């Protein structure tokens, strides 16, 4: 068995960007997801990233897919990570 999670529409206020806030949030989420999967459960995460920000998520272990879509008139790409 396992779980699938979706992370979407997570943003950091412009005046708080580049201070490590976004990274800290994702690191904590990743730690929790690792805990969920520690008993052998499959944990898969889809993350909806604003196009152009893929590198931020790739540094945290997420892989870009070829799935692009428009959300609120803004292009997004689906990224994935298994735990």
Please list the rounded mean pLDDT of every run of 10 residues in the chain (83 residues): 92 94 96 91 95 94 92 90 95
**CA-CA distance, 46 to 63, in Å (whole number)?**
10
Sequence-separated (6 or more) residues with CB below 8 Å from residue 77: 48, 49, 51, 54, 64, 65, 67, 68
- Identify whether the C-beta of residue 7 lies closer than 8 Å to the C-beta of residue 49: no
Coil vs helix vs strand at 68: strand
Contact between residue 41 and residue 82 where contact means Cβ atoms under 8 Å apart? no
Q: What is the pLDDT of residue 73?
A: 84
């Amino acid at each position: 068995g396992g779980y699938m999670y979706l992370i979407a529409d997570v943003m950091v206020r412009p005046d708080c960007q580049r201070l490590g806030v976004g990274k800290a949030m994702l690191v904590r989420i990743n730690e929790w997801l690792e805990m969920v999967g520690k008993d052998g459960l499959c944990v898969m995460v889809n993350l909806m990233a604003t196009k152009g920000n893929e590198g931020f998520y790739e540094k945290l272990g997420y892989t870009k897919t070829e799935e692009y879509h428009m959300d609120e008139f803004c292009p997004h790409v689906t990224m994935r990570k298994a735990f």
